[in-house]
Structure 1
Amino acid sequence: MTQKVLARFDDAQLFLFVRHLFAVEGFEVVLAADNDAGVRPTDADYLAVVIDAANLALPESLIEIRRACPRAALVVLSKDNQGFDNILGCDDLLLTRPFDPSKLVRFLRRLRYRGTTTGSSSGFDGAFSFADLEMNLARMQVLRSGVEVPLTPLQFKLLRHMLERPAEACSRDEFIEHCWPENAEVEPRTVDIHLGHIRRTLKRFGPDLIRTVRGAGYALRAPGDTQDDEVRSSDG
């Protein structure tokens, strides 16, 4: 079944180029009207929103798109980084000039696989939960027992990555691959530092929910769980 993608483009030539790449990979691209905000409540069935950021008011516009389509991946085409890393998640893609078509194709194949395995009506409502922890992607908000937990955008990405696979241990290399920009030089110790900050912040509102797994990385821990290493690594 063809998966639908919503597009916001001012550059017609760039839109035709991107539409061709999406079509080759089996996606139907729907162009938002000029006078359309680009997203509506009925847009929940879009698997992705692809955006030409040249004339986009940031960060407000991108946050609004995220709120309207919490289940959709964001594909942003921009001339430079412009601070997008603070908004985009590990399931999104930022392409900066000169655009690399092969990078977009690889992303689309992963996106297509996700769409066929979960379906656009999988019931995912743009939120994750674990124990008394709730993460709302549309609002970029984390609550613990109903109280908002202050996290930086990077910490939000790291925690989201864990919430997406609560039964697995996430390695430091995996965090670096999914939560930092491509080709960023990040030391494993940097991951430890950020996970330590997240851990201490969450402990201000309740029991420790993160555990260090020797030889594997980090995993979520249910309250009352005292075991240290009996968790399956996501690497195998």
Structure 2
Amino acid sequence: MIDQHTPTRVATGHTVLVVEDDASIRTLLTSALTVAGYTVASASTGQEAMFEAGSRRPHLIVLDVMLPDTDGFRLTRELRAQGVYTPVLFLTARAGVEDRIIGLSSGGDDYVTKPFHVQEVLLRIRAILRRSNAPASTAGASPPLRYADLTLDEATHDVRRGDRPLKLSPTEFRLLACLLAHPERVLEKAEILQQVWQYDFSGDTRIVDTYIKNLRRKIDRDPPALIHTVRGVGYCLRLPRGETPPAGR
């Protein structure tokens, strides 16, 4: 049974796209999000979702995994392939750790299982928007994170390797920011899980491996490679052995 406690209204200015083929759940979420202060668009199929994501440009997508014409994991991969990096919160009856890993590996940012509490969904949405889609502000902003020729600006969400701009998903952005915050230090996979996902995956760290692989394809396309594996421990952002670290590091 889905809990229907009345949500607390917050002024957000954010648009949320609800993609759910069950009309009762779609109506419940649309109503709850509207009462909470969000602008809401909705879709019942993957095709409709692709159209709404392109035309509405939502700040976040609440996405059912089982849709009549596709599944949410495949849809998220299609969005990412088209350069749409809108945060995605999955809703699904699949409760297994393996399914959570598949979902988050496909480009999702969070995962709520059915039956769910509306307040939990709202809290997850607020958390995702805080860490992934917060309005940029230059007032008192921290200086960009830098290592070698890699730069990440947390205020503008601009990421560059040399002169080459990089398009990262919200989760990839947080993962890179985590590595850049601790250059040349080996980060254990469990520590990365806590800092980036804030989850306990019952010791299963494959989600970290998957996202590191995705990040490497973008970051280390040009030499020298900066993301290194410390076998049996975790990952480290550093220059290859023998190369001089940048000044100030």
Q: Same fold (TM over 0.5)?
A: yes
> Any conservation in 2 of the 1:6–1:32 contact (CA below 8 Å)?
yes
Contact 2:92/2:114, CA 8 A, preserved across alignment: yes
In the alignment, does 2:63 pair up with 1:63?
Answer: no
1:163 aligns with 2:176: yes
Q: Distance in 2 between matches of 1:103 and 1:27?
A: 16
Q: How does 1:128-207 map to 2 (within 5 A)?
A: 128-131=159-162, 136-137=167-168, 161-165=174-178, 167-169=180-182, 171-172=187-188, 173-177=190-194, 182-186=199-203, 194=209, 206-207=223-224
String of CA shifts for 1:170-206, please: whole Å, max 9, x gaps: 854441236679442228xx69x959x9699998973
Alignment-derived partner of residue 62 in structure 2: 50
Q: Residues 24 and 112 of structure 1: is their aligned pair in 2 closer, same or farther, counting only changes over 3 Å?
A: farther
The residue aligned with 1:15 is 26
Q: Which residue of 2 aligns with 1:86?
A: 102
TM-score when scaled to structure 2? 0.56
Relative to structure 1, the CA distance from residue 23 to residue 116 in structure 2 (aligned partners, 3 Å threshold; closer, same or farther) is farther
Aligned-partner Cα distance in 1 for 2:83–2:224: 33
TM-score by length of 1: 0.59
Structure-2 separation of matches of 1:112 and 1:38: 20
Aligned residues: 199
Q: CA deviation at 1:77?
A: 0.8
Match of 1:118 in 2: 136
> RMSD across aligned C-alpha pairs, in angstroms?
4.6
Give a deviation string over 1:155-180, Cα, whole Å, max 9, x none: xx6x6543245641285444123667
SS at match of 1:55: coil
Tell me what 2:146 maps to: none
Match of 2:112?
A: 95
Residue by residue, what CA displacement relative to the aligned partner does 1:29-65 show, whole Å, maximum 9, x if unpaired? 1013669431237447311111222325234333223
**In the alignment, which residue of structure 2 is the partner of 1:147?**
none
Q: Does structure 2 conserve the Cα–Cα contact (< 8 Å) formed by 1:162 and 1:219? A: no
Q: Within 2, Cα distance between the matches of 1:35 and 1:203?
A: 33
> Distance in 1 between the 2:238 and 2:163 partners?
12
Pairwise CA distance, 1:78: 0.7
* 1:72 partnered with 2:86: yes
In 2, the alpha carbon distance for the partners of 1:194 and 1:84 equals 14
Residues of 2 paired with 1:130 and 1:200: CA distance?
12
CA, structure 1 residues 98+178, in 2 after alignment: closer, same or farther (shift >3 Å)?
farther
Where does the alignment leave 5 or more consecutive residues of structure 1 unmatched?
139-156, 232-236
Match of 1:22, as an amino acid? Answer: L
CA deviation string 1:110-156 (max 9, x = no partner): 2343544239xx9769xx54359876557xxxxxxxxxxxxxxxxxx
Query: Is the counterpart of residue 226 in structure 1 residue 245 in structure 2?
Result: yes
Aligned to 2:151: none
Aligned to 2:48, the other structure's residue is in SS state coil
Read off the aligned partner of 1:226 and give its amino acid letter: P
